[in-house]
Structure 1
Amino acid sequence: MRKIYAGLFSSIDGVVEAPDQWQPSFDEEMGAALARMLDGQDAVLLGRATYSEWAEYWPTSTDEPFASFINNTQKYVASTTLDSVDEWSNSTLIKGSLTDFIADLRQQDGGTIGVAGSIGLVRSLIEQGLLDELTLMISPVVAGGGRRRLFADDSALTKFDLLEAQPTSSGALIATYRPVR
C-alpha cells in the first residue's frame, strides 16, 4: 500500500502559512530533508490554493531541480471550487469523496504520495486518518498572529509518535511524526 507523507515549514508557534515571510533561513539540512521527502515520490496531492499559486509559477520556472520534479510528477488536486486543472500538465482534479479517492490511489502501484503546502488538505488528511507521516521543519521564530497554523484552536486531540528529530545548523528542528491510530 502506498504511503502519504506531508512536509511543512513551521514556526515555534505553529504557523505554517507563508514561510517565505517569517522563516529566518533555509539551511543545508533542510534541503537534504526535502530531497529525502521527494525521493520515491511519484504523486503529489495539492489543495486549491497551493495548486492555483503553483500552476502560475512552476510550469515556466527554471528553478531546478524542483521545477522538473513538480512539472513531471502526477498532481492530484483536492478542490470543491475548481472546475478544471487542465492548464498544468499531469494534473487531475479529485472529484467526489477525498477519502474514497485516497483509498483507491493508495491501492495503485507506485511510490509515495507527497502533500505539498496545502494546510487545509493536510489537516483533513490527519483528521480522516489518511496521513502516514508528517515532517515539520520548525524554525526558531515566533511568526505571530494573522497567519494560519497547522491545527485550529478547536482541533480534536490527536496523538503522534516521534520518528526522528534532527537539529540543524540554523537552529531549526526537523521533526518527523507518525499519527497514532
Structure 2
Amino acid sequence: MLLSLKESVLDVIRRAEATAERNNELIRQINEMTGEITVMTYVLRRQDNGSYSVEENIRVSIEAQMIVSEWQDIIQLINIEDSFNDEINYSCNDYQDMIFLNSDMLLVIKKYESLGDEDRLLKIVNKFAENFCRIERALQKLLLHLCTSDQSRLDEITQRVDRINNEIKDLRDKYKYLSFV
C-alpha cells in the first residue's frame, strides 16, 4: 500500500486559512497601535571627496496610524486565474491592499473546497497559499517596524552607505574620466 505524500486541495486550503487567520491577528495588532511613536531620522551628506556619510539626526514623534497609512512596499503576489469571476486585483502596495486581499482571497479559496483534488486545482490553491504567506511576511515587517522605530539603525545604514561609497570608488578607479556632479 502506497501512501501519498502530496497534499490534497483541502489540506492546502486549511493551511491557507490558518495563514489568513494569522494575518488577521497581525492586522488586529497593527490596528490597535495608537498614540505616538518615536522614529529616528537620518541625513546623508556628500563629502568633499565625493563619498557620503550618514548622520543620525533627530527623534521625531509620529502617530502610529500615520506610519501605517503611509507605509508602502511592493508585495509581489502571484496573479491567479479567475475561475469564479471574482475580479481580484493582486496589486498590493500598501496596508489597505493587504487587508482587502487577505479577506478577498479567503472568500475565493473556500470556493475550491468542493471541487475535488485534480492537479490543476492543487496548483491554484497553492498559489493562494503562497500569496497569504507573502502578505504575512509583509505584515510582520510592518509590525516590527512599528515596534522598533525608536531604535537606531545608524550602523546598518552606515554599512550600506559604505558599500555605495566603495562602488563609487571602484567606478572612479576603473573609469578615470568619470565625474559626479
Q: The TM-score by the shorter chain falls in which range?
A: under 0.3
In the superposition, the TM-score normalised over structure 1's length comes to: 0.22
In the superposition, the TM-score normalised over structure 2's length comes to: 0.22
Higher percent of residues as helix: 2
